[in-house]
Amino acid sequence: MAIRVQAQAFDPGAEVNAMHAANVGVGAVVSFVGYVRDFNDGLDVAGMFLEHYPGMTEKALAKIAVEAEQRWPLLKLEVLHRIGALEPGEPIVFVGAASAHRQAAFDACAFVMDYLKTRAPFWKKENTSEGARWVEGRHSDQAAADRWK
């Protein structure tokens, strides 16, 4: 399991390739990449700043990853999240789950994202055409997390 919280950009393709490079027992890799959009809730978005809670962020992500590893037979699990200033088109988050067969990887990847969305202490502030604004939490994210209970 690998948890990375970083200001630096990353290459999602390289992350996917690394998921199985060290283990030929991996038969399935499912990955999710979240990107900054240039439009949200009716306004153009020129960029955003990702605030987080240093210390808690890493612990919260590790806790989610450990729970995923307890639920599914994973061979590798990676969670990578950007912080700081980001521009439209840039990857924000990467979750990669590797397993022998596909279903565990599919489910674990979705689970980690659903829990990350509701439990990891990140907050997005968008620079929009009408000034800066904090992104509001969505009820649909909570509903998505609740389905794993």
19, 80, 86, 92: residue in contact with other proteins (rule CB under 8 A): 92
Distances from the Cα of 65 to the Cα of 28, 39, 41, 120, angstroms: 18, 30, 31, 11
Distances from the Cα of 17 to the Cα of 75, 96, 116, angstroms: 14, 10, 23
Residues 52-91 that bind other proteins (CB under 8 A): 52-53, 55-56, 59-60, 63, 81
How many Cβ atoms from other residues are within 10 Å of residue 99's Cβ?
24
| Minimum CB distance to other proteins, residue 81 (Å) | 6
The residue (of 55 and 131) whose beta carbon lies closer to other proteins is 55
x/- site string to other proteins, residues 120 to 139, per CB under 8 A?
xxxxxx--------xxxx--
Under 8 Å CB-to-CB from 133, ≥6 apart: which residues?
125, 126
Q: Which residues bind other proteins (CB under 8 A)?
A: 34, 50-53, 55-56, 59-60, 63, 81, 92-93, 113, 116-125, 134-137
